[in-house]
Amino acid sequence: MHGAGNDYVFIDGFVAPVPHFPEQLARTVSNRNFGVGADGLIVMLPVDHADVEMRMWNADGSEGAMCGNGVRCVALWMHLRNRVSGICRIQTASGMVTVSTAELDRDGGGGVFCVDMGQPHAATDSELLPGVRLPGVDSDLEFTAVSLGNPHAVVFVDKLTDRVVRHVGHQVEHHSRFPDRTNVEWTQVVSPTELTVRVWERGSGETLACGTGACAAGIVAVQRGYCSADRETIVNLPGGRLQVCTDDAGRVRLTGPAEVSFTGTLPGRA
């Protein structure tokens, strides 16, 4: 399944055995030349205190805590399997999230879902990243750190290029400032209600979309006065559009698509 092109291989732990070595399986199935091809692996598990538990592993086998696109796909699958009928409560490593349905196309295997992401932990001021610079810029890279259950570094740029996103993104992810590594949101302001973002994801490289990354970019854009807090922000990503908004209590909501690409079986040697 995928959300705006951010694709994962999902294992339905309600009916299938859970892999013994998920980090190894994540690396295997995520390989786009020798495996299924994905940004990572997500396992859906039954749990007492929620409708489903989501555990995720990045393409490099490292375990992640939260995925805004992944939880929408999990909610879609739970609806398609008639395990939920309204709000879907999903336990993640970073806490409980709730997902509501805006549209559901059972025949087409897709829909649009809204995720209550909770209250983010946003840095009050921007920081400079020692030793990392954009091409042609003499000063250290300026970023703002945000956490939505996983870490993000939001950087505003005038132009989005492959060299900036991929080469500098890799430097930022592995910088000593981030001992657990970080996701990087390269963000361009289009208007007071619209951003264009490319994301370098921790453990997966550049992906077509990142739900928590879109939220992080929207939060910092409002913080800096580029976007308005009382209006929805459209975030354009290579894989599609997501919508980010913040309510009066400071809770962030993420709305976007989810779709089943195909289903199949994996050999039982995982």
Give strand pairing partners of 153: 145, 184
- Radius of gyration of the chain from its Cα atoms, rounded to whole angstroms: 18
Is 73 annotated in the active site? no
215 assigned to active site: no
| Separation of alpha carbons 223 and 156, rounded Å | 13
The Cα–Cα gap between 176 and 184 comes to: 14
Catalytic residue among 67, 73, 227, 245: 67
Q: Which of 73, 114, 210, 215 is catalytic?
A: 210
Active site residues: 67, 210
